[in-house]
Structure 1
């Protein structure tokens, strides 16, 4: 009992110390944590025990960065090149990068906005001192229990298929690895062709897609759903995230079927009854999951451009996914609609969107586009021998931490892989870190005279 109390006290003290650091610079804490994880993961993957033929320092660094940022872009074959130890290291890094950031975001919401809402009241602004170490430990525990429970359920369902195929231990390991990678929105697979051989399986496709969709909703949305169970009782953020997720998924599903139905390299090569399920997976996986069940390089150009847009948007805030986030995308659309209708403030579901949220949303979009444009320009300049569309796709995939590729990852130079790693890193922590920085209130006594500026 004394040891348990001592461990609890130690964890509480660490969380209190972390709270003091967050008070000054949350983005710096987040970035430092990720850099340390990438460095440690690189060293572990560089060890001879982690791979069969040995990884170079750059390969180990790229793989660790891809795992910690839950991307899934690879320069080595995960299933054949990495040993069981290496795959285990990869899985730990995926959890620390996916579930770890989800926990970090949940705690930051508490520290910046007060504790999570109870009943129907929204998050209330509260000073940092009111959030106790016990509250933070409870949040960590809730996130961990939720994630582990979903991963175990996914493992059990996938084992029904893969254990009879491969034997008990190998089938169980494949089931757990893919369930964990799916929930954490990491596109790593132990098959060299990802999930192409399971393209139309009636159990594998729904389970994998269900895990990464739920993991991409975000902790606050899941908590809100757990507490209220009815859409009408949810807060505005949850409603925007859920409705945006549904619109993007269904819209992309219809467009993928329209664009790929007669493409012999993708849906056209399947029986008619198998095409809708395969199209569904292709439509939802760009939202940062990264698994592919069709040949990405064989997709038509309209589908390729559609996937780039979906990768840029990503999934929910404070989730295991990345991108600018669905709620950000929805706020920008609502603000645009309000502007076109000459309304002073955007609204949805009989609620007005806070002006600060609108400013944050546009800031995230603009800065993300600027960074992505510069990085993609450098990739095209450095690799004139490669198709620009393939490089642009790689850049969008890295920024959205998706993991889809048109087959050019291993053809990139060291500088090109460095740019991709930078995109994965900034794409994972950038929008969230920016949101943290902008969410902190800054009071000023100086107010300027308002004036009109011609726009458009």
Structure 2
């Protein structure tokens, strides 16, 4: 009886992943509540919890300014939470076990597969090691490039710390910044015309957002396009279209808004930056609240899409969007199967894409209605905030610090769901033992 009960209470791999992120957030909350973490020695539970979840879920939304409210210790805690949330706690955990020469069990490999959304168990430990090394390499290069600007501006110690902090935050698509010392909650607006800073941050965001599997594929096959996996081809194609297409639209839409007093070069740079950062990064080089209504709608669309599977980014993912579009075209043409780059997409791909899209959109609309009922914000600003939280982006029109406690807790939950994955969490909570499939009689209904 005892053995049967033990088996019954055993957590599934998905449940372990969800529980892992929850524990990381709780530990982060406790550390941020310590008097040593805040400049005034006092932080409310809501402020600590919101910040810990935002950092561990690599979002970037904040109730208090990171550079002003938190001490160096508090900022280091936030940096650690960002790194753990970006790479994944299982990646760091397995890397530690390898360092102490611990043999990785089959169960640990299975949890790792769920943690980074891998498609197969084989080679997962080797991939984990690569993720750890590549992350440190890209963050290191980014920190060196940012140091060229930050050290002369802030001095050696502060400039070096700022370089590391923002490189990690950008690569992990977190969006936390320490530029509040210039102007609170201003993000990277002072660097809107700085090619070095904006360019470095954009590259880090893009590299972190395309996914670990794409890196591995490129590392294995170099620049031989024909040898790439279908996943890699779809991710790279979709990413290029979204970045360039989004940049062009922002350039046109902001011509009479935030871009009025900018030169052409600065407008191009800020448009590209906005297009990149909306894909779950959270930095901004223009006043988000002052953007045109068209740009806000475009931003919400990009935030909802997000990055790619197996990356530091959130959102429904580029592959979900691609599957949706491909199957829509397939339906219009009345073709039996959707294809891409000479490969046929499996039916279960569209089923998962529909689930992700429906659940994510349902959560966003439900949360928006709840917050609108609680507080008199403009609907577009609330919807923007909700998409930002669910997509783990971190952009805001300025209402975050005005959220009532109930609204703030809703945003906190959305950030957690966005990082773990709404579909994955639902599966983890409702997961039961497999039952024999029972097929009900089929009957057609009218669609459209």
Match for residue 152 of structure 1 among 128, 140, 154: 140
Tell me if 1:176 matches 2:167: no
C-alpha distance in 1, partners of 2:423/2:219?
A: 24
Instruction: Answer whether contact 1:30 1:433 (CA < 8 A) is retained.
Output: no
TM-score normalised by length of structure 1: 0.86
- Does the C-alpha gap of structure 1 residues 387 and 111 become closer, same or farther in structure 2, counting only changes over 3 Å? closer
Counterpart in the other structure of 1:79: 67
Match for residue 100 of structure 1 among 88, 102, 105: 88
Counterpart in the other structure of 1:6: none
Tell me if 1:390 matches 2:384: no
Counterpart in the other structure of 1:260: 254
What secondary structure does 1:216 align onto?
A: helix
Structure 2 counterparts to residues 42-441 of structure 1, below 5 A:
42-53=29-40, 54-100=42-88, 103=91, 111=113, 135-192=123-180, 193-229=186-222, 230-263=224-257, 266-384=258-376, 386-431=377-422, 433=424
Q: What is the root-mean-square deviation in Å for CA atoms of aligned residues?
A: 2.7
What secondary structure does 1:75 align onto?
A: coil
C-alpha distance in 1, partners of 2:432/2:226?
A: 29
What secondary structure does 1:268 align onto?
A: coil
Instruction: Answer whether contact 1:59 1:75 (CA < 8 A) is retained.
Output: yes
TM-score normalised by length of structure 2: 0.88
- Does the C-alpha gap of structure 1 residues 183 and 27 become closer, same or farther in structure 2, counting only changes over 3 Å? same
C-alpha distance in 2, partners of 1:350/1:244?
A: 17
C-alpha distance in 2, partners of 1:109/1:267?
A: 47
Instruction: Answer whether contact 1:312 1:324 (CA < 8 A) is retained.
Output: yes
Instruction: Answer whether contact 1:45 1:86 (CA < 8 A) is retained.
Output: yes
- Does the C-alpha gap of structure 1 residues 424 and 110 become closer, same or farther in structure 2, counting only changes over 3 Å? closer
C-alpha distance in 2, partners of 1:254/1:107?
A: 43
C-alpha distance in 1, partners of 2:171/2:431?
A: 27
C-alpha distance in 2, partners of 1:237/1:109?
A: 22
Q: Gapped runs of 5+ residues in structure 1? A: 1-19, 117-122
In the alignment of these two chains, the number of paired residues is 419
Q: Gapped runs of 5+ residues in structure 2? A: 1-6, 95-107, 181-185
Instruction: Answer whether contact 1:107 1:139 (CA < 8 A) is retained.
Output: no
What secondary structure does 1:42 align onto?
A: helix
Deviation sequence 1:34-63 (CA, Å, 0-9, x none):
111111101101111111012111111111
Deviation sequence 1:292-319 (CA, Å, 0-9, x none):
0000000000000000010001000011
